[in-house]
Amino acid sequence: MLVKTNENGGTAKRINYRKIKRMLFFAMLVAWPIFQFSLCYVYVNINSFALAFKHYEIPQGTLGFNITFAGMDNFKEAIEIISARAYMFKTSFLNFFWTVLIGLTLALTFSYYIYKKYPMSDLFRVVLFLPKILSGVVFSLLFKYLSNDVYKYVVEVILESGPTLGLMDNPETKLATVLFYNVWVGFGVNVLMFTGSMSGIDESIVESAHLDGVNTVQEFIYITFPMIWPTFTSFFTIHVAAFFTDQMALHTMFGTQGHDIATFGYYLYVTTASAELIQVNATTPSFGVLSAMGLLMTAVMLPLVLTLRKVLKKYGPSVD
């Protein structure tokens, strides 16, 4: 610290160079993340919102675009697209049902099994977390290879049952196979977080319950599950919020050839990759229409997720 004195010998100003250096270091440390957040999140979302109300035209004989206010035209076209692809509601709901309602239930069961350190619990931990150890792309392609080529080899060569289609090539088993894959992939983070929350439960509470005659099932229902309820609530609301954005890894497995079992997330992902500011053909909407579609989905899901989160917190099981 440097202290300056005035003409009368009194203290006029104190300069703390150490504090200044710390502030400069902190500013340099957070400058790049703040810039990235501002550019890649704040600006992108504001621009996406504005894009839903814009219409771009190319004037003849000139360069550039003419930008006009589109009003609700983009929203009307977005509603028409959603109505024409109502079948995606079914696929999205099936994905939600299996990966959330069934997947989370099974994840809770396996997590409790691992938490209690029952036989083969370590093996279950490795098998269920395996999809997260490998790259998502690598594991998706490996699973596709097993469900198509390996399955055909087993049926045709080993079992000698004649020519057959792979599980993902067969239209009758394609969706079920992809749903199974997504349930399995979802185990990794779910089991890791649930077991972590369960490990934080005070052992004295469990021991006291056992002295009162509580069995394993009662322990899970009345002690374990209420204690990890905040973690379960977070996972459940996150999955609900992703209803319109989850693409079920369809692009990784099928590229642009997965429209027969498409979800809204897959449709938005694939269509956005080939879209332009101006509609290029009858099947590819413009960025403005896609932005309007995203806002419509947000308008539906935002109040639903906030209400669901509030209800789950208010009426969930109590630790008391």
Give buried/exposed letters for 119-142 (b at 16+ CB in 10 A, else e).
Answer: eeeeebbeebeebbeeeeeebbee
**pLDDT tens profile 66-124:** 888 888 999 999 999 888 888 888 899 999 889 888 888 888 988 898 888 888 888 87
Give buried/exposed letters for 290-304 (b at 16+ CB in 10 A, else e).
Answer: bbbbbbbbeeebeee
pLDDT at 282 over 80: no
pLDDT at 1 over 60: no
According to the model, what pLDDT value does residue 129 have?
77
CA distance 173 to 75: 35
Domain boundaries, the chain: 75-315
Reported CATH class of domain 75-315: mainly alpha
**pLDDT tens profile 164-218:** 888 898 888 999 999 999 888 888 888 888 888 888 888 888 888 888 888 888 8
Query: Mean pLDDT score of the chain, rounded to an integer?
Result: 85
- How confident is residue 239, by pLDDT bands cut at 50, 70 and 90? confident
Model confidence, pTM: 0.79
Q: What is the mean pLDDT of residues 218-238?
A: 89
Task: Please state which of the ranges 32-36, 211-215, 224-228, 237-241 shows the lowest mean pLDDT.
Answer: 211-215
